[in-house]
Amino acid sequence: MNTTGKAVMQTIVLAVISIFLYFLLYYWSDYIMNWSRQGGWYFVIPVVIAFIFSFAHGTFANHFWDMLGVKAKSVKK
């Protein structure tokens, strides 16, 4: 598989992972809310979920925009 095909496959896999995480969050939302309402260290549950989503979706978005050739403009000093 060439480099372009590999990049497309990685982007698709990351998109599927991101979609699956959103599905799990929707499906288990009542349980997550109940756990996080218990107090104590249970407040960590939504924080950990937010980090997981941030990493998964951020990685997907990075691959997606790189695949399309969109790059950030570099600032010269």
| Of residues 27, 24, 12, the one with CA closest to residue 59 | 12
Q: Are 1 and 9 in contact (CB under 8 A)?
A: yes
Name the pLDDT band for 3 (thresholds 50, 70, 90). Answer: confident
- The pTM score is 0.78
pLDDT in tens, 18-72: 999 999 999 999 999 999 899 899 989 999 999 999 999 999 999 999 988 888 8
